[in-house]
Structures are given as C-alpha cells and as structure tokens.
C-alpha cells in the first residue's frame, strides 16, 4: 500500500489478538487532544472501512474491530494522528 507523508511512531499502537477471528482490540495513546482516524485496508490497499474518525483526549484508548463479515486474510490498519501515521498488519482467521 502506498501512502504519502511521513511515517512516525505513534505511542503504544497495538492490535491483539493478532491473528484474530471475530474480535480484535486496537489500543493507542495520544499525548494531547487531537483528531485520530483509524482505517482498515485490504492487502491490495483498498479501503474497507473507517473504524473511527474523531477527536480523542490525552491518554490511552481502545477500539474493538469486529472481524465478522471479513474474509480470512491479511489486512492493514492505518492510524492517523494529526500529520503522522502508522500502519500495522492484522490477520483475520
């Protein structure tokens, strides 16, 4: 997947369990209130769904990814925080 911009480390961006079946937890941390977007892409880089796009306050946050309805395989989660982003692979069983 090609994504423009700088790739920087985002605090505590985790996915567990990974691989997952029906549910996985996505955890991340922000230092100050900021707009955060979390999107799921297939292995070819096509956007599947936006899981969240809103402002988060400082601290640790968790979201649930419902894997029901997703075909087994590899996906990419993209977490965008302000002008920075990080991607991680997730496998759905």
Q: How many angstroms separate the first and last alpha carbons of the chain?
A: 21
Tokens of 65: 């990814």
pLDDT tens for each residue of 35-54 = 999 999 999 999 999 999 99
Pairing of strands 84-92, 47-56: unpaired
CA 1 to the chain's CA centroid: 14
User: Is pLDDT of 84 > 80?
Assistant: yes
pLDDT given for residue 21 in this prediction: 85
pTM score of the predicted model: 0.81
Share above pLDDT 90 across residues of the chain, in percent, rounded to a whole number: 69
Cβ–Cβ < 8 Å for 24, 17: yes
Q: 83 vs 59, 62, 74, 92, CA distance in Å? A: 18, 21, 26, 28
Task: Domains for the chain: give ranges and CATH numbers.
Answer: 14-92 (2.60.40.3080)
């Amino acid at each position: 997947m090609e994504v423009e911009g700088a790739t920087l480390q985002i605090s505590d961006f985790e996915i567990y369990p990974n691989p997952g079946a029906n549910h996985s937890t996505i955890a991340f941390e922000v230092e100050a209130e900021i707009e955060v977007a979390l999107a799921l892409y297939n292995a070819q880089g096509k956007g599947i769904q936006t899981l969240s796009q809103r402002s988060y306050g400082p601290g640790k946050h968790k979201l649930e990814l419902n894997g029901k309805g997703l075909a087994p395989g590899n996906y990419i989660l993209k977490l965008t925080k302000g002008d920075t982003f990080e991607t991680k692979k997730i496998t759905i069983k």
